[in-house]
Chains A and B, each alone.
Chain A
Amino acid sequence: MDFKLSQEHLMARDLFRSFAENEVKPLAQEVDEEERFPVETVEKMGKLGFMGIPIPKEYGGQGCDYLTYAICVEELAKVCGTTAVILSAHTSLCQMPILHFGTEAQKQKYLVPLAKGETLGAFGLTEPGAGTDASGQHTKAVLDGDEYVLNGSKVFITNGYYADTYVIFAMTNKDLRSKGISAFIVEKGTPGFTFGTKEKKMGIRGSATYELIFTDCRIPKENLLGKEGQGYAIALDTLNGGRVGIAAQALGLAAGALEVSAAYVKTRKQFGKTLDRFQNTQFTLADMATRTEAARLLVYKSAWEHDTDPKNDGTASSMAKLYAAETASYVTNRAVQLHGGYGYIRDYDVERMMRDAKITEIYEGTSEVQRMVIAHNMLK
């Protein structure tokens, strides 16, 4: 057993780290403050191949493994939670289902430009009445000639409005419940596909979170992803991989807050000495560091399992997502505490990191859902 990253992964980490420091960090505060989608960063990441890291080269990707992708998300999240989730949703939630379930024609038409970063992707599963219980879909798709007609709406869609390609779930047979759900590829600009409210969020405020509305939206029959009725299985498979991405985002937020805090306590003086001389500070940092490292091991292991055992039961990614998300919330909370009053001020990165961390316990499966998955797999 070897816990060392390979030379390739180490060099890739250096690349992601230097990109994050030079290109992403300088914008992080502004993007949050102004709730601005960082278009220019997404464009740069596209040109460098970051938008298609685990996609095979024949489909325009970089042909790297899932671990490399997870390390990329981690390094981005260390400085900007927004940028990390844009890349994660694009990669895990839009490209992976097309890669796993798409026809060759769909891959050529949609996956290639997504992987090259020429287009942006999003995923629409959640509805006002179908969050954790995703099987309660109200969006309908009815076959009419050579087209499916979509009606309904999706909420909380990451990369909404800015994305060009959407993987959308809808009921094709209500009687079959979850087995009656199908997945579709929908292009932005299709008549009948519009955007509703842009959500005002607590954290990851630069990422665009929109409502998608489908009103007699006609999409060609060939845009059915997988088979009719296979949608729920596609969603579960996609979310299993997506959890690795969000777990990596959570890990990055924790690691970023830890790094900033460790530097801060060496400079801040109280009672005539720097904060790092106080045992309370040392113990707090030790706990933060230990949990962050434990999260890293779970995240890397789940990424590794994604590469080596694609048919895994999802326990590893659920554990990684559960633990990393709760660690992100814990570590960023402690980071604010170590910063004292300054930590509560928006000029300091840890304030943003704490707000960004909370969502990792909620989206792409709440912590409660992760516990359900882990327990279900244990007890079946």
Chain B
Amino acid sequence: MSAPEIEKSDLVTVTIDGVQVSVPKDTLVIRAAEQIGVQVPRFCDHPLLAPVGACRQCLVDVPDAGNGRGFPKPQASCTLPVADGMVVSTQVTSPVADKAQQGVMELLLINHPLDCPVCDKGGECPLQNQAMSNGRGESRFSDDRNRGVKRTFPKPINLSPTVLLDRERCIVCQRCTRFADEIAGDPFIALIERGAQQQIGIAEDAPFLSYFSGNVIQICPVGALTSEQYRFRSRPFDLVSTPGVAEHDACGSAIRVDHRRGKVLRRQAGDDPAVNEEWITDKDRFAFAYAQADDRLTYPQVRDEDGTLRPASWPEAFAVAARGLAAARDAGGVGVLTGGRVTVEDAYAYAKFARATLGTNDIDFRARPLSGEEADFLAAHVVLTGPDLGAVTYDDLESAAKVVLVGLEPEDEAGAIFLRLRKSVLAGGTEVVAVAPYTTRGLEKLSARLVPTLPGDEAAALTALGSELDAATVVLAGERLATVPGALTAAAAVAATTGARLAWVPRRAGDRGALEAGCLPTLLPGGRPVADATARVDLATAWGVGSLPEAPGRDADAILAALAAGELGGLVVGGVDPDDTADPAVTRAALGAAAFVVAFDLRRTEVTDSADVVFPVAPTSDKSGTFVNWEGRVRPWEAALRNPASLPELRALSGIAAELAALGVGAPLGFRTVEEARAEMEQIGPWDGPRATTTDNSVTTTDNSATTTDNSATTTDNSATTTDNSALRLATWKQLLDNGSMQDGDKYLKATARTPVALVSAALYDAYGPTVTLTGDRGSVTLPAEIADDLVDGAVWVPANSVGNGVLADLASPGSTVTISGAEGVHG
């Protein structure tokens, strides 16, 4: 996507320090100066925040404002837009500007404490740097003659469990309060007091709880804002900062992984204007300690005849795995569940391993509730699309007149999308419409128009919206729609008839890449349909194998059901949590019943505990890899840490494939490293033949026997505000911060999670609150209740993984209903 050509007439010519430069109209002088290599010192200015002109550090002399007259006094270059013919003299050529800047710098330093030796920011501090470049060497305030007294504050204070404030260091640039208010929409920090006592503060008992709070630490130009997680832990000059990609969602946010001597010490946002600009969620920023947890797997394990799992060497593990898989294959077959956190390269390895080595199409990356309709939808509408081919991008969200969210709560599930949508809404010109059960905090911050929809009714709601959608609309469909029969089909249909553009937003970083790499029972790598003989031949040729299995495979639910029933013998499983799957009980039964299980994981889990062979896998910091984000944008990174024992999955798969080939089963993988995998994928290339078309899924799903999708118990009659004990539709999704295992290890981050509550209507709260018990087909959960004012009648919302083992394990099957009753107060 290229930016619109800038017309010559949109350019304005100014002279800065004698150098002429032409810039677009409305460019600020400080930005224009940067274009010719002049760095005017600044603190409150930030390219992504509205200018305020508060710090006065960026003062420049303007001898000609473009109208022949100069400004009588120096101007703040961060608030002054260029004018044609303007003449500007910065500190480079103007003694007045230089003195003014030195004066401001001197004043900034009179109350600023000499904390550098104990301040986290030292070494990467804009105040230090600019004091050196644009300030004096000596203080006239603190010298013996003046004996100035600085104002002090007791320090530090917690603005939140994760963010600390040293008030003395603050220069009141207001970047943090402006970010919190403008960008995140969470104005829970504010300027308080007045004059030199002015400081950042929170209201009593109202900490700065925002999913994006960590960004203020990064943009603070001094060491006033620090994180509990990183405070006093390192000096920036000891750190190596490696670019990376966030692994917690499908946004593909650019991050920086800062490490020292083999250990990741902190993460920051990377600068990527096309994707996440300069912001990341707190989960992206702080949740990386999971990779250093005590239960991290560091060597392969093999189960002995006596049943104990014991350490093994890699070669032994390869051999044992190969023998077991060969036997399982003969005894009925092997299924492959990759999980959604795999890199593209590892996913490709799984996909090839399944087809070329195991000879099966029984592979699925979806470790959560799914449907055949979804697989068809992905094959027809999602795979092979990308920014270069006209897919919806972040920039498109900004230019869309309307964005419809269905099955997606962006603040919880895709933070970078949320921030971009909010940016666009605030700029005017974009309306957000949400097909959802109630207006969440995130939707409120987007000024979204709610189309109140019961879970399960999204298809009809979308279709009804059709009349107001057009080519200037973007529809974002979340992965939750997989369990709503007809919803994804309706989304595709609405897009087709109205010209609206459609994008699918999964939850996990590896989901989209796994789709592209062929981890679906109906799709081979590169989007090649299994059902298309030409495609199979094309791939087989490229792989150098005779043929590829032609029957479409089982999806994840079918694989698990078949294992539980003894129809499949073996399982190759990556990072999958049984509690995330559509039927955790069936998943566990499958693991127990399977004759042979090879597990790959980062940490010890119940899955690895039940496996026959366990292989440790490298976290994202230890390996090069690639994620594909929801846009279809390819996001590669290189390993930050070098750990010879920490290997990507593809290495182990390669080893097993080699052993299997030696046993006469299938072909070797053909690559052992990430680089080799990338090269091979590049060579294979995307499928350029006809795409799969969706079968007719508008009425019923294909048989996903593992899940009951019987919604017939509830009618769509929501006229009464139900206070009786009839069934309520269960709305649920995972909050950004919850019991997810990738958030383990950072207690400060955990303390910022939202309190789990059940959201009910006012009538239900009055009848059953303040604490309620919900009962579904899998059990009961008791939670404090809160009223959601516009919650659609007949629904209740609970967070999917904030209490116990999560909703799927403890409460209800996907798409089913629950009943409500009052409970004794359990929570505070």
Partners in one complex: no
Chain A interface (Cβ < 8 Å from any Cβ of B): none
Q: State the B residues within 8 Å of A (CB).
A: none
